[in-house]
Amino acid sequence: LGDHLQMSSERHEEAGAGAGAAAPVTPRRLYIARHAERLDRAVEAGGGQWLGVASRPHDPPISPAGRVQAMQMAIHLHQITADVGDPITRIIASPLIRTMQTSDIIAEFLGLGLNSVLPEQGLCEQIISMRSPSAPIFLSPLELSGLFREARVDPTRVSARPVTHVETDGIAVRDLDRMGKGKVNGSDDPEVHYWCEVHPDVDVRAAVGGPAVDAAAAEITALRCGETVDRILAELDRAGGTTLLVCHGASARYVMRHLTQDATATSGTVASIAVLTQSAGGRWTATEMSNSHLSMPPPESPSCAPDADNT
C-alpha cells in the first residue's frame, strides 16, 4: 500500500489547498473511535448462535456490555474535549447498526441535537470482515433515523463517498480458513462469501489466489477510507465545528494512516478512541488508539434503540 499511501497523501494536500477552501482552525482536532462491543460476538462467546438466525448477519447491534462501553466513551470524550475547550458538534459514522448505536449514545450524552449524527458509507467495515452470505446492504439514512427515538440521525444525509458491493463470480473474498480463523467462536464454518467492494483502480475479481484477493480487498479499503476522509474534511472546512468519526477496526486504521502518513498506525480494540491534531502546516498527528476509559466505573446502562433483538 506504500505507493497508494503516498498518492493519497498528495490528493489530500491538493484537496486542502483547493480554490475557495476555508482556512481550518489551528490546531484543528478530529476525534476517531471504534464502535462498542458487537452483539454477535457476545452471543457466540456465550455458546449461542448468530449466523443462520439473524436477519442481517453482517450488521449486528451492540451488546448490553457495548451500551455501557459507549457511555464510558461518551464520558471520556466529554472530559477530553472540555479540557481543550473544543466540544464535539457532530458525529459522522459508518451506517452499520453497531456504529450508529455507539454514535447515538455518545450524541445523547454530549447533548447533540437534531441531525447531528451523519451516516457515511465511506467509513463502513471492510468486506472481508462482513459476515454475510448475501449482499451486505446498508440501511438508508431515513431507515436509520427511524430506528432511534430521538431525531439525531440526519435522514437526508448523502454519503460523501458511497460504497458498492458486487458478486465476484466464484472468487471467495471472506474465507475464515484462508484467514486462519476457521474455528472462530468454536465453529468450523469457514463463512465463505463471494462479495467484493467496487473501486475504479483495483478489481478483486482480477486477483489470482487467496493472498492476492486479500491484498486487493485491503487496498480497496485503504483507498476508499482515504478518499472518504478527504471529502469529509473538505465538508468540515465549510461547516466548521469539531467532529467525531465512529468507525470499524479497518476503517479507523486506514483513516489514521492516510492522515498521519504513518503506515504502522493501528486501530486498537473495540471502543478505542484517538485524537488527531492538525498543525498550522497541515500535518496530522495522532494519539494512540486507547480504551483506557473502559476502566472507569460503569455508568447506568443507557437505553438505546434498536433493541438487542432487532437484528
Categorize the per-residue pLDDT at 4 as very low, low, confident or very high, splitting at 50, 70 and 90. very low
Cβ-based neighbours of 294, under 8 Å, separated by 6 or more: 69, 72, 271
Mean pLDDT for 37-55 is 91
- The phi, psi pair for 274, rounded to 5°, reads -135, 155
* C-alpha distance from residue 26 to each of 14, 236, 238 (Å): 18, 14, 15
236 pLDDT exceeds 90?
Answer: yes
- For the stretch 182-193, pLDDT in tens is 655 556 678 889
Q: What is the arithmetic mean of pLDDT over 169-178? A: 89
Burial of 280 (0-12, 13-18, 19+ CB in 10 A): exposed
Q: For position 181, what pLDDT does the model report?
A: 74
Q: How far apart are CA 239 and CA 220, in angstroms?
A: 28
CA dihedral 110, 115, 119, 123 (to 10 degrees): -50
> H helices of 132-267, where?
141-147, 210-239, 249-260
Cell of 155: 435522514
- Grid cell 466540544 — which residue? 87
Average pLDDT over residues 215-235: 97
User: Could you read off the pLDDT of 66-76 as tens digits, one per residue?
Assistant: 999 999 999 99
Residue 13: pLDDT over 60 = no
Q: How far apart are CA 270 and CA 37, in angstroms?
A: 6
Alpha carbons 188 and 185: distance in angstroms, whole number: 9
Averaged pLDDT, 257-277: 97
Angle between helix axes 2-16 and 249-260 (nearest 10 degrees) is 70
- pLDDT per residue as tens digits for the range 283-298: 999 999 999 999 988 7
The model's pLDDT over 202-220, given as tens digits with 9 standing for 90+, comes to: 999 999 899 999 999 999 9
Q: Is the pLDDT of residue 174 over 70?
A: yes
Model pLDDT, residue 311: 37
Amino acid identity of 174? Answer: R
The residue-averaged pLDDT of 48-77 equals 94
Mean pLDDT of 168-193: 79
Q: Report the C-alpha gap between 102 and 84 in whole angstroms.
A: 23
Question: What mean pLDDT do residues 222-235 have?
Answer: 97
- CA–CA separation, 113 vs 189, rounded Å? 43
Range 236-265 average pLDDT: 96
Is the pLDDT assigned to residue 305 strictly greater than 90? no
* CA 43 – CA 38 distance, rounded (Å): 9
The half-sphere exposure of 199 on its side-chain side, counting CA atoms within 13 A, is 24
Percent of the chain with pLDDT over 90: 72
Higher pLDDT, 121 or 45: 121
Cell of 149: 427515538
pLDDT given for residue 5 in this prediction: 45
pLDDT tens for residues 130-166?
A: 997 788 899 999 999 999 988 999 999 999 999 999 9
What average pLDDT does the structure give for the chain?
88
